[in-house]
Structure 1
């Protein structure tokens, strides 16, 4: 199937009876990087959760490659990686055990080489056997970023992926995102500041 990207039409999202978005239209094409910006509370995270299937919209439709993401024929959730503020890791498991779990869910039979590569590039290779709960906040964030290396996907939805990263890791992530887009991937990310290292194709602003 030809990759047509992600689209949303007539999308309305509310929270606690407060309308965050009304009648929104969105087009995220393959091989593009989209920067989603807006003030805190404007609805950026709610929009991302809705696009990721974690939040039900009040109305509207979301399509991936021309099919509703809720269709039984859609491969959307197998094609998607959503990285949120909540890192979705098991505190009692090690780095290796957490990343192996996600990789095997995607059909990666031998995730060790990919985990070795990602953790080494991010400077946490020596911590693979450390429990997630024992890591610093910065190290935990790096573990979550490893998912972008070890899991096959076609679309990344990333909520504040650059927050609290050192300069070297920022450059690493920016290059990874651009490489993913060059290979046909679709990227949507939020940031409180525009990322100079990224060649952004589309900017979408959300206002209160």
Structure 2
């Protein structure tokens, strides 16, 4: 069902672009992002898992299609490094006799390599500023998980590479952002992405990004 939905969205976007194209430009773009999973995990009123932001980057290309004086469509193809920091709070360790040894948080960093296809509608307020929004399809090509803090010394430094089918690889979400024209060839933009479908039946990615675009 998810695959069919993604295919339909891509076809509709292509049809819209082909039907309305009047002028097309191409460019390159890159930037940094701050990503995390949502929501945190609670048992009753107690939070047992907290997701924190992780800094990453993205790089790729785009085509910009003018459909009127105020509106443009910008399909993009990006490679992104994103993910989250995950904190398991107040983990208790007991010895073989059931005696409490200590209580501590355990922290992990999850790194994802993602191929993304944003399809962005831009509205130009004036020659300098534009608003933008649209859908984004994603595919996780690799995910690594590393324990970065473990006061008990059980797992720290352990690094696992998950490239099998134990996690959801497809992603779908919504972008909202603002762009600014620095010069004839250069633009900067800031965006917020929110996942619309649950991955692994529990998480959605949330990403702030800041980047620069260069028209070639």
- TM-score, with structure 1 as normaliser: 0.20
- TM-score, with structure 2 as normaliser: 0.20
**1 or 2, which has the higher helix percentage?**
1
Q: Which has the higher contact order (CA 8 A, sep 6+)?
A: 1
**1 or 2, which has the higher strand percentage?**
2
